[in-house]
Amino acid sequence: QVQLVESGGGVVQPGRSLRLSCAASGFTFSNYGIHWVRQAPGKGLEWVAVVSSDGSNKYYADSVKGRFTISRDNSKNTLYLQMNSLRAEDTAVYYCARRGIAATGDSWGQGTLVTVSS
Amino acid sequence: QSALTQPASVSGSPGQSITISCTGTSSDVGGYNYVSWYQQHPGTAPKLLIYDVSNRPSGVSNRFSGSKSGNTASLTISGLQAEDEADYYCSSYTSSSTYVFGTGTKVTVL
pLDDT tens per residue across span B57-107: 999 999 999 999 999 999 999 999 999 999 999 999 999 999 999 999 999
pLDDT at B1: 79
| pLDDT of A20 above 90 | yes
| pLDDT of A78 above 90 | yes
Contacts of A35 in chain B (CB under 8 A): 99
Q: Is B39 on the interface with A (CB under 8 A)?
A: no
d(CA A110, CA A24): 12
d(CA A63, CA A20): 17
Q: Of B76, B69, B78, B85, give the one whose Cα is nearest residue B26.
A: B69
Q: What is the mean pLDDT of residues A76-97?
A: 98
pLDDT at B34: 97
Confidence band of B24 (pLDDT split at 50, 70, 90): very high
Question: Beta strands A58-60 and A45-51: pairing type?
Answer: antiparallel
pLDDT at B46: 98
Searching chain A, which residue's CA lies closest to the CA of residue B44? A110
Q: What is the mean pLDDT of residues A92-106?
A: 94
| pLDDT of A97 above 90 | yes
**Does A111 sit within 8 Å of B57, measured CB to CB?**
no
**Does B38 sit within 8 Å of A45, measured CB to CB?**
yes
* Burial letters B64-73, b for 16+ CB under 10 A, else e: bbbebeebbb
- What value, to the nearest 5°, has the Cα angle with vertex A65 and ends A61 and A66? 170
Percent of chain B whose predicted confidence (pLDDT) is above 70 = 100
Question: Beta strands B105-109 and A10-12: pairing type?
Answer: unpaired
Q: What is the mean pLDDT of residues A7-18?
A: 98
- Beta-bridged to residue A10, according to DSSP, are A114
By Cβ distance, the residue of A61, A63, A106 closest to B57 is A106
By Cβ distance, the residue of B46, B99, B104 closest to A103 is B99
